[in-house]
């Protein structure tokens, strides 16, 4: 079981640590499907073989970048 927290929820729960992708260049993964903001590898919350879920830095939603 995995619970994903958005940025506001993480701010309220400081004991929750964020997954940081090991790539230091932070390439773009795509755009937020809601607001169109660029999603970078540093925004990844969880990564599967089939794709990633990331935290949109603009609208603060958990999204699958497009």
Per-residue confidence of the chain (66 residues) as pLDDT tens digits? 445 566 666 555 544 444 444 445 678 999 999 999 999 988 999 888 888 999 999 998 999 999
CA distance 41 to 54: 8
DSSP state of 33: T
Chain center to CA of 18: 9
This prediction's pTM: 0.60
- Which H or E run includes 12? helix 7-12
CA 5 to chain centre: 9
- E strand residue ranges, 1-66: 28-31, 38-40, 44-48, 51-55, 62-63
């Amino acid at each position: 079981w995995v619970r994903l927290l958005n940025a506001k929820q993480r701010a309220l729960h400081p004991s929750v640590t964020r997954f940081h992708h090991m790539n230091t260049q932070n390439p773009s993964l795509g755009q937020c499907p809601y607001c169109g903001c660029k999603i970078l590898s540093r925004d990844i919350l969880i990564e599967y073989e089939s794709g990633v879920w990331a935290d949109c830095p603009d609208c603060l939603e958990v999204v699958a970048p497009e």
